[in-house]
Structure 1
């Protein structure tokens, strides 16, 4: 049954997908940044994301704010459980943003700002992956409150998902540079994309197998008959999309590898949805148990129906204006 609670779950899910699509590649460029030559190549990589990087994080704000407004119980449980990785993520994003601006305005210390840009990107990405892994492995809940300890988020599984997200974002970053740059930097990006695609496939397999060991319900959702006939299509689609990704890469396509890399992320998010639906905190709290009152959801939905299309419109306009290839001096 589709009701306001399901609609709000879809809106927050859309915000998460939009964040991964739009902020993942610029975090990935930060992860790859030390591998680029100092000077023109690094300037070109920076210029490729300069017009859009700060607006990309709008979706992170929408997802977090939407969770607080539409699912306050989930917000009250998740935040205490994940304070450490979430604070680390925010500090990493702040450091990255400061470094992005100051590397242009303080050329005497540009090497330090470059390191800060990479460090902030790495911390933010790794913390996001850890938070996802900690949520997926389960959060201790007693009554209507978090009952675990400060370090419950830290586990081999959460470290694996943290590393996996770094690989995924780096893949998006390499594919973005293949799309947006030319010459030696583009060839370098193609090489990195080819290597990272293999790593991405390995990480997807490792995380998927590890997930099945976390909760018995995960196994039943994926492997129970006859549902397995549907869920088996996800790994099959992953193999097909990977093959299409490498074909487009070998054909030296510009945009297609990036789009196929996004499709891989989409399949991963679909798998996440299969694993946890209809829970907002896996096996603890459903979306209906965590939902705000009906009138609150309705009031916020009216605002969301106005604001989300506006955000989509100005975001699409920004990407359209700055379409095409980029050099060390900017877009051309």
Structure 2
């Protein structure tokens, strides 16, 4: 197999894993954040139960993405990790706190303790989403490196652009969370989620447009790619179609439609980012080919991905199928 095509295939497998993590676990994170804004203990219980059976399987994609980056593009891993030590540590600690809060909230001895646990869950979900946006923003912004080594001061992620990316991703995750709750819940919680989802859809799309405009100012390549009619015209048409499906979904038979439309917007935004970055894995000058591991390592990892990705997809699908339907909880928290 041609080395260039092999590298592209590796990049596609890695991008697919990251995208699946964002759209699946992002929904869980959004629900976790919303729990911190919900006063009713019964509604918080419904929200927790809706994600409890599936959240851990969704995070499998994060493991595939992180491990894939190390094995497939070790040079990029060696540069990114020192640049993002602090955000990564914060994110992993937040993920641990979130898992503990979600799994053990029912063991809290009273309602006051349970409210504290839910607050920890909301804060950990917020930190996780915000840090992931900052990491993404730092990557798009560009990471200073020389000779395969990071040469920055370790504070690139505190720049305005990564911080703005963190805010946008948090709002996007909350939007996904409201769409999930509209699909999985009933009565007052479902109606409130529908109202929140409509508002958040407008805010999220507007901020994404601002983010795209800001991105175009960072690198000359970004400006050229994002101004190309072959990119923005199809993207604009797809967003318009998804917006129409999203709005109509609240009046149809299938409550899952708004969520899938919102996920479509996320996938489209991710695709636009990849088009703007290509062929760089770390802007402004480290390409996929330069960062790639040896062809032997790539083939070995691709075989692993070919086995693991279908299994993970099947596991995710099975979990969603088994625990499908509306969540009904009769008793309080």
Question: Would the TM-score normalized by the shorter structure come out above 0.5?
Answer: yes
Contact 2:225 2:231 in 1 (8 A): no
Quickly say closer, same or farther: Cα 1:252–1:184, change in 2 above 3 A: farther
- Give 5+ residue unaligned stretches, structure 1: none
Q: Could you tell me how far apart the structure 2 residues matched to 1:276 and 1:14 are?
A: 15
Q: Could you tell me how far apart the structure 1 residues matched to 2:285 and 2:151 are?
A: 12
Residue in 2 that maps onto 1:29: 31
Contact 1:47 1:329 in 2 (8 A): no
**Secondary structure in 2 matching 1:280:** strand
| 1:66 Cα offset (Å) | 0.2
Alignment of 1:224-239 (within 5 A): 227-239=228-240
**Secondary structure in 2 matching 1:240:** helix
| 1:323 Cα offset (Å) | 1.0
Q: Could you tell me how far apart the structure 1 residues matched to 2:192 and 2:129 are?
A: 22
**Secondary structure in 2 matching 1:37:** coil
From 207, 210, 215, the counterpart of 2:214: 210
Q: Could you tell me how far apart the structure 1 residues matched to 2:107 and 2:210 are?
A: 43
| 1:252 Cα offset (Å) | 7.1
| 1:36 Cα offset (Å) | 2.2
2:104 matches 1:102: yes
**Secondary structure in 1 matching 2:122:** helix
Q: Could you tell me how far apart the structure 2 residues matched to 1:285 and 1:329 are?
A: 55
| 1:18 Cα offset (Å) | 0.8
Q: Could you tell me how far apart the structure 2 residues matched to 1:301 and 1:274 are?
A: 22
Residue in 2 that maps onto 1:277: 278
**Secondary structure in 2 matching 1:120:** helix
Structure-2-length-normalised TM-score:
0.94
Q: Could you tell me how far apart the structure 1 residues matched to 2:270 and 2:94 are?
A: 23
Residues 35-86 of structure 1 deviation map (CA, whole Å, 9 limit, x = unaligned):
3233211100000001001111000000000000000000000111111211
| Larger deviation, residues 75-84 vs 61-70 | 75-84
Contact 2:52 2:103 in 1 (8 A): no
- Give 5+ residue unaligned stretches, structure 2: none
**Secondary structure in 1 matching 2:156:** coil
Residue in 2 that maps onto 1:8: 10
Contact 1:175 1:257 in 2 (8 A): yes
**Secondary structure in 1 matching 2:281:** strand
2:320 matches 1:319: yes
Residue in 2 that maps onto 1:263: 264
| 1:250 Cα offset (Å) | 4.6
| 1:251 Cα offset (Å) | 4.5
Residue in 1 that maps onto 2:185: 181
Contact 2:142 2:283 in 1 (8 A): yes
2:52 matches 1:50: yes
Q: Could you tell me how far apart the structure 1 residues matched to 2:285 and 2:81 are?
A: 15
Residue in 2 that maps onto 1:59: 61
Q: Could you tell me how far apart the structure 1 residues matched to 2:319 and 2:30 are?
A: 20
Residue in 2 that maps onto 1:121: 125
Q: Could you tell me how far apart the structure 2 residues matched to 1:280 and 1:329 are?
A: 50
Contact 1:44 1:329 in 2 (8 A): no
2:131 matches 1:130: no
Q: Could you tell me how far apart the structure 2 residues matched to 1:50 and 1:323 are?
A: 12
Structure-1-length-normalised TM-score:
0.95
